[in-house]
Amino acid sequence: MFSDIDLVVFGKWENLPLWTLEEALRKHKVADEDSVKVLDKATVPIIKLTDSFTEVKVDISFNVQNGVRAADLIKDFTKKYPVLPYLVLVLKQFLLQRDLNEVFTGGIGSYSLFLMAVSFLQLHPREDACIPNTNYGVLLIEFFELYGRHFNYLKTGIRIKDGGSYVAKDEVQKNMLDGYRPSMLYIEDPLQPGNDVGRSSYGAMQVKQAFDYAYVVLSHAVSPIAKYYPNNETESILGRIIRVTDEVATYRDWISKQWGLQNRPEPSCNGPVSSSSATQSSSSDVDSDATPCKTPKQLLCRPSTGNRAGSQDVSVGSPQAGGKTQSSQTTNTSNNPDKPQHGSARLFRSSSKGFQGTTQTSHGSLMTNKQHQGKSNNQYYHGKKRKHKRDAPLSDLCR
């Protein structure tokens, strides 16, 4: 996919020029007319639009000082944890296909998801966390396990300052004004400690259920008995929870032909990492789209990219998704259009989990799951939930 763009406009106005700018965007046909939305009642008023030529989504805000600081924070943590962008891209795409990636609809926003990912990596380190191309799948599964099964949303909040920690909501509430209490998904803003980043995510429990579903499906897919599952040879592992449509693949090809390919450097290990904790888990920020970025008519007007048959194969080791980083600059970014390849996606489970597996990946149809089915008639593999035994008890805050 491609990244969305966050624009911050600084100026002096008695009233924010939301509607003035909205009218100008329509008049000059900068954006698709139907895509321009003014969210003037939001905590941070913004204008949402989709660029008429590139179909890149843009959010415009005014006089938001923390936007630039947040961009620097994201860059710093990305340098410290090179795996972050990969996890974030996949997680945002996973949420997008379930309509859980927008704050104004109750989902988890990009910044919140990024902080959840950072907290995961801070508090659940692994010895192999910086080994390139080997344990992305494990981290993804463990992220789903933590936030889908073990994290106590009722009693626990997230803090990433000073190395990261969990905070008891009872302690947080003591410092809040009478009548106020921490939200279901309490995430302390590292740039403004009094700000609860997750306060508008009223659909947090739906997100939790989606994470739990993904954990069950992926855990079954990499289990030692996975080779006995139906359709084992005809579907990828990540493809069981995320679908890449032919339209998206076509858009990727169009992006690469318009602006060329940009190779992402291999992640390298920065600093020492501690051993695996008894609580195996993982990390996430982004807006992209799994639905066609242009109408079929518009796609026909693009340079020919060749026909693609079948669904796009996605490997857990190399996630395909959209990324969104808060910034004050307008820079278009696009991920490389990865061609589907048959091969094995290696997923190493830790020794405490009791197994290590390698599963073949290829194209194929996916089975239907009614509870967590994504948009555009996406279909996902549905497996029975099994009780997961752990080798050591979780901390009190995560029970």
Residue 32 sits in a domain whose CATH number is 3.30.460.10
CA distances from 272 to 86, 268, 361 (A): 20, 12, 33
User: CA-to-CA distance for 161 and 190, rounded, in angstroms?
Assistant: 6
pLDDT of residue 122: 93
pTM: 0.62
Tell which of 47, 62, 77 closes a domain: 62
- Collapsing DSSP states into helix, strand and coil, what is residue 46? strand
Same domain, 92 and 200: yes
Does residue 332 share a domain with residue 197? Answer: yes
Is there a single domain that holds both residue 38 and residue 97? no
Residue type, 336: N
Same domain, residue pair 68 and 217: yes
pLDDT at 208 (0 to 100)? 97
Q: What is the CATH number of the domain that holds 73?
A: 1.10.1410.10
Among 31, 47, 62, the domain boundary falls at: 62
Residues 58 and 199 in one domain: no
Same-domain pairing of 52 and 144: no
- The structural domain count of the chain equals 2
User: What is the structure's pLDDT at 230?
Assistant: 66
Q: What is 275-289 written as a DSSP string?
A: PPPSS----------
Tell me the β-bridge partners of 59.
Answer: 6, 48
Does residue 173 share a domain with residue 51?
no
Q: In order along the chain (399 residues), what is the average pLDDT of each group of 10 residues? A: 78 90 90 88 88 88 88 93 92 94 89 96 75 76 96 95 92 75 92 89 96 95 78 75 87 83 50 37 37 38 40 40 41 42 37 38 38 43 37 43
Domain residue limits at 51: 17-62
Residues 39 and 68 in one domain: no
Same domain flag for 182 and 236: yes
Clarify whether residues 337 and 353 are in a common domain.
yes
The per-residue DSSP string of 144-199 comes to HHIIIII--TTTEEEE-GGG-EEEEHHHHHHTSPTT----SS-BEETTEEEEETTT
Query: Residue 272's pLDDT is what?
Result: 40
The pLDDT value given to residue 233: 59
Whether residues 320 and 284 fall in one domain? yes
The pLDDT value given to residue 141? 95
Q: What is the pLDDT of residue 231?
A: 61
Per-residue pLDDT, 380:
38
56 and 166 both lie in a single domain: no
